[in-house]
Amino acid sequence: MSGLIGKKVGMTSLFDANGKNIPCTVIQAGPCVVTQVKTEKTDGYNAVQIAYNEKSGKNIGAPLKGHFKKAGVNPHAKLVEFKSFKDEKSLGDSITVDLFAEGEFVDISATSKGKGFQGVVKRHNFRGVGGQTHGQHNRLRAPGSIGGASTPSKVFKGIRMAGRMGGDTVKTQNLKVLKVLADRNLIVVSGNIAGSKGSYVVIEK
C-alpha cells in the first residue's frame, strides 16, 4: 500500500464527457520526503515513513530533530507510515503526485470536523419526542429513557447519549482520481472527504 500525505484545498465540480456535473475535492498532495525505511531485519516488518509540509525546527523536540537529521532532511509537520511502495525507496527520496494516475481509485483518511458537545438528535439522529400533547412542552429533543429503575438499577455501557461529536478519523474509500496536476502538486478526486479546508489527509492507492 503506497500513498501520499496532503492537504484538503476545498471542493468544486467538473463536467465529464457526457456533460454530467461531478462534485469533487481538490487536494494538494506532496511533495513528500522519505524519512525512514523499515525492514523486517531491523524492525520486524517492511514499511516506508514519509513526511510532509516542511517547517521550522523551533518547536520540535530533540528526539524528532535527531530523527530528521539522521534522514538528512529538514523538519516536517506530518509523518505517516506506509506498509509498502511499488518502487524501493531510500532516505531523502522525494515522492510527488505523479504516484497517481487519472482514472484509478484511492482511499482517503482525514480527521472529521469537531462539533463539540451535542445532544442525541444531532449526534445519533434521534427524532425527538412527538408533538406537544399530554401537557409536555419542553422535551422535544430529549433522549427518553436510558435504563430501568429497580431492575437493573444501572445504565448499561454503550447507551447512545449526548457527548462530544466529531474529531474522528474517517476513511472514504473508492474515490476516483479525475485529474492530476503535477506542475501544481494537485489531485482532484470525485465526491467529498472528511475534514475542514487546510486539514491533513492521507491518500492511499
Q: How far is CA 195 from the centre of its chain?
A: 7
Mind listing the domains of the chain with CATH numbers?
3-204 (2.40.30.10)
Overall average pLDDT of the 147-154 stretch: 82
pLDDT higher than threshold 80 for residue 111: yes
pLDDT higher than threshold 90 for residue 67: no
Q: What is the pTM of this model?
A: 0.82
3-50 pLDDT, tens digit each? 899 999 999 999 988 889 999 999 999 799 999 888 888 888 888 899
Overall average pLDDT of the 59-63 stretch: 86
16 three-class SS: coil
Extract the C-alpha cell encoding 105.
Answer: 481509485
pLDDT higher than threshold 70 for residue 130: no
Question: How far is 129 from 143, CA to CA, in rounded Å?
Answer: 8
Query: Mean pLDDT for the chain?
Result: 88
How many Å is the maximal CA-CA distance in the chain?
73
pLDDT band at 140 (very low <50, low <70, confident <90, very high): confident
